[in-house]
Amino acid sequence: MIDRIRSYAAYGVFILGLVVVALAGVPILLLSAWQARSWLVSRFGRLLGKAVLAVAGVRIRVVDHRNGFEGPAVYILNHASTIDMFVILALGMRRVRFVAKTEFQYNPVIFLLGHLTGHIFLDRARGEKALQHLNRRLDRIRRAGDSLVMAPEGSRTHAGRIGPFKRGAFQAALRLRYPMVPIHIEGADDLSQGDTIVTAAGTVTVHLHAPIPTTDWTEENLTEQVAAVRNRYLIWAGVNPTSDTPG
């Protein structure tokens, strides 16, 4: 019962925080002629993520394996928990744009803030059209020198700790010619499953792994690259890749 009360309070903080960010953020964006977009995402996003997690009783421990690398890159993360979004926001990553499912736009505040700050919403059911939309936005991402954050599993309600990886994030890295930086969120799915907003209190460890070069990636070997990166996640999750069956 305590976890439930704390979790609903955290969700209330999230909704209230979105409204505050919208009220403060829209004027900031207009006055800065949209130059404050990255600042708004990193600073306000970090505050919002930390506030939600604090009310939920979730602490973050960050282990950085990047040896000073800061991007630009395509950042990917494993996604099996409702709190993953807040964990990533709490990192306060600079100059990043998030790729999210189009259903998030059903919240009018997220719709407004998301589009004003340059994030990308994809309708996974549209397949090729969604990919074309992503490719058009990637050109802007590259020109601005921004990074991209994606969850290659797509849905958080998949069987097992590490679900099948879709190719979208890998195709984005190939097109951008950015390195790929894996983010492994450890312990979040033990606190909160993907089909509920209720979370237990505890500690989540976030591993920011060393960048993976993509200079030798091609369309022909992309399937192998997807499998190789997913195997890393399986190993980090304590699963033997040879005994794992995607899906």
Q: pLDDT digit string (tens) for 123-177?
A: 766 667 777 777 788 888 998 899 999 999 877 655 557 889 988 899 999 999 9
Is domain 2-243 given the CATH code 3.40.1130 in the classification? yes
For 100, the token pair is 């999210």
Strands 202-208 and 180-186: antiparallel
Please choose, from the candidates 147, 244, 73, the residue with its C-alpha nearest in 3D space to the C-alpha of residue 236: 244
pTM of the model as a whole: 0.89
pLDDT in tens, 173-211: 999 999 999 999 999 988 987 667 889 999 999 999 999
pLDDT at 119: 84
For residue 19, CA distances in Å to 43, 212, 236, 239 come to 15, 37, 37, 41
pLDDT in tens, 84-107: 999 999 999 988 999 887 777 777
* Secondary structure of residue 220 in the 3-state scheme: coil
User: What's 193's DSSP letter?
Assistant: -
